[in-house]
Chain A
C-alpha cells in the first residue's frame, strides 16, 4: 500500500443482510462508494436507512454479506476478525453520538487507553499536548467523564479518536447529543482536524448545518445511496428535511 493511499475508502457492491431465523433484512444494498484521502464526507438520511451499518462496515466492526470494503487498498471484508481489528486499530478512529467514554476512569486515562491499545503508550507527549490544546481540553483531562459537560466529553472522545493519528475518522452523529453551541464547536474542530491533520472523515448526521461542513454529502435511503452532493450549502430553512 502506497503512501498516497492513506485514508482512502472504497466499497464495491457492498451489501449487508441481517438474518433473523428465516427472515432476511437487507440493511445495505450494493453500495459503491469512494472517499479519497483527506476528504470530509457527511452521510445523511432518515433513521433506519443503513447509515450506521455502513459506518460499521467501513470500520470493520462487521463483515459484509457481499462486496468489498477497501481501506487504503486492503479489502477488509476478506480479513479475519483479528486482522480487521488490527486494521481498525491502525487506521480508524471512532466518534460516537453518546461519546462512549469509559465512565470509571479520567479523561486522560480514556485517551491513554487508546494509545495503549494502539501500542503507542509512550508516544511523544508533545503531539498529545498539541491535540489536547487544539481541542481545548488540556485543563480538563484530570476529570472523569461524568464531571464534564457534553461538549467537553465529546471533545475528549475526539481526542481519544485522533490521538493515534488514524488516517480515517468515522463519526456517528457526533453532535446528536450536544446543544447548538457545542455542536458548532465540535464541527469546527472536526473540520480543523481534517484540514490540519489530513484525516479522512466520514460523518453521519441528521443536521444540515453539520453536513455543510463536509466536502461531500451522501444521501441514503433504504440501504442505498440516493445522491452525492458537492459542497452542500447550509440553508436554515432546510433544517429538519433529513
Chain B
C-alpha cells in the first residue's frame, strides 16, 4: 500500500521522474568515466613503468610518477657512474617528453641499454633499430594511426620513419633515439629518469641502500611496489581532482533531487494533509518522500552505470590508447555516492512535508 503510493507518485509525473533519473545518472557517469579515465591513465602508467622490469627509477628529487612533466635534470654522465656502483647490472637513461598530439609520452632511449632490461621492446614487425630519425611504435599505436614500418609519422613536430612495430605493453607507445630527442628538447646532455636493474644475484635491498647513500639528493623509487609509485606525495593534485569530480557529481544528484522533491511536496500538499488527518506520523511522511527519492536515485544509478559501460566501450573503441578503469569497487562507490546525493537532496523537502500544518494542507487547492 505504501509501496503502491510511492510507485504511483513516481509514475504520476513521468517527465519529472525521467529528468531526475537522468540527472542522478549523469552524476554517476561523471564519477565513473572521469574517475575511470584518471585511474586508467594512472594504472596504465604504473603497469608500463613496472613492465620495464627495472628495480628502481632514479629521478630528480620531488618528481612525480608522471615523469613526462618532470624536467630533464639528470646529467647523462650519471649513467656511467651508476653502472660502476656495486650490484648495479643495467642502467637505461631516458628522456621523456609529452606529446599533446597523441596525448601520450614519447621516450628517447638508447636501444642497446634499454634492451638489457627484461621489458625490452619485442619487435613484431620491421628492424630493431633506433637511430637518427627512426621511431619504434607499438602495435596499438600502429593500428590506431594506421601506420607500418617504412612509413613516415610526425612526432613532436618532426618527421620520423617507422623502423619497427613492437608489442603493446611497453612503458610508452613511441620510442625515438635519445640523442635526437635531446637535441629536439635542447638538453643535449640531460635525461629525465634512469631505469636501474640490479645485477643478477645481487641483493636488491643492498643495492637500493647503496644507491640511496651515494645519491642522497635524488629520488630513488622501487618500481616493484605500485603503492610507492602511487604515494600521494608523488601525485600532487590527484586527490583534490578526484574529490572535485565526486563533489560535483554528488551536487548534481543532490540539487536535482532537492528541486524535484521540493516541487513534489508542493504539488502534494493536500495529499500530505490527508495523510496527516489519517494520523500519519512525521516519520511516516519523511519515509514516503525518502523512499521515492531512493527509488529515483536507484533508477538513476542503474541508468548511470549502464550508460558508463557503454561510454567506456565507445571511448576505448574511438581512442584505443586510452584506458578507462571501472572496477566493481569504483562502481559501488559511485552508486553509493549517487544514492547519498539523492537521499540528502530529499531530506529537506521531506522535513518540510512532515512539518506542514495539516489544516492548511487540507485546504490547499
Contact = CB atoms under 8 A, between A and B. Distances in A.
Interface of A: 56, 59, 61-62, 81-82, 85-86, 88-90, 92, 94, 96, 100, 102, 104-106, 109, 112-118, 121, 160
A106 B8 CA distance: 10
A118 B278 CA distance: 8
27 contacts: A56-B359, A59-B277, A61-B362, A62-B358, A62-B359, A85-B279, A85-B281, A86-B281, A88-B277, A88-B279, A89-B279, A92-B279, A100-B274, A100-B277, A100-B362, A104-B5, A104-B11, A109-B8, A112-B1, A113-B5, A113-B275, A114-B278, A115-B1, A116-B2, A117-B278, A117-B279, A117-B284
B270 interface: yes
A105 B279 contact: no
B5 A109 contact: yes
B181 to A, nearest CB: 69
B110 interface: no
Given A109-B4, A121-B1, A104 B281 contact: no
B270 A100 contact: yes
A104 B359 contact: no
A85 B1 contact: no
B12 interface: yes
Given A104-B8, A104-B9, A105-B8, A113 B277 contact: no
Contacts of A114: 278
A109 B3 CA distance: 9
B362 A85 contact: no
A89 B1 contact: no
A117 B274 CA distance: 12
B228 interface: no
Contact of B359 (A61, A92, A96): A61
Given A82-B282, A105-B5, A112-B1, A117 B277 contact: no
B275 A94 contact: no
B2 A113 contact: yes
Interface residues of B, number: 24
**Which of B1, B8, B281 has most A Cβ within 10 Å?**
B1
A117 B284 CA distance: 8
Contacts of B362: 61, 96, 100
Given A104-B8, A116-B2, 15 more contacts: A61-B358, A62-B357, A85-B279, A88-B279, A89-B278, A89-B279, A94-B278, A96-B277, A100-B274, A112-B1, A113-B5, A113-B278, A114-B278, A121-B1, A160-B278
Contacts of A160: 278
Contacts of A59: 277
A116 B1 contact: yes
Contact of B280 (A85, A96, A100, A112): A85
B275 A117 contact: yes
Given A61-B359, A113-B2, A118 B274 contact: no
Interface string B143-169: 000000000000000000000000000
B275 to A, nearest CB: 7
Nearest to B357: A62
Contacts of B190: none
Given A61-B358, A117-B284, A94 B277 contact: yes
B197 interface: no
Contacts of B275: 113, 117
Contacts of B312: none
Contacts of A85: 276, 279-282
Interface in B339-365: 357-359, 362
A62 B361 CA distance: 12
Contacts of A82: 281-282
Contacts of A94: 277-278
B330 interface: no
Contacts of A104: 5, 8-9, 11-12
A121 B2 CA distance: 10
Nearest to B270: A100
Nearest to B11: A104
Contacts of A88: 277-279
Contacts of B276: 61, 85
Contact of A105 (B4, B270, B280, B282): B4
Contacts of B5: 102, 104-105, 109, 113
A164 B9 CA distance: 24
A105 B358 CA distance: 21
Given A61-B359, A62-B359, A100-B274, A117 B8 contact: no
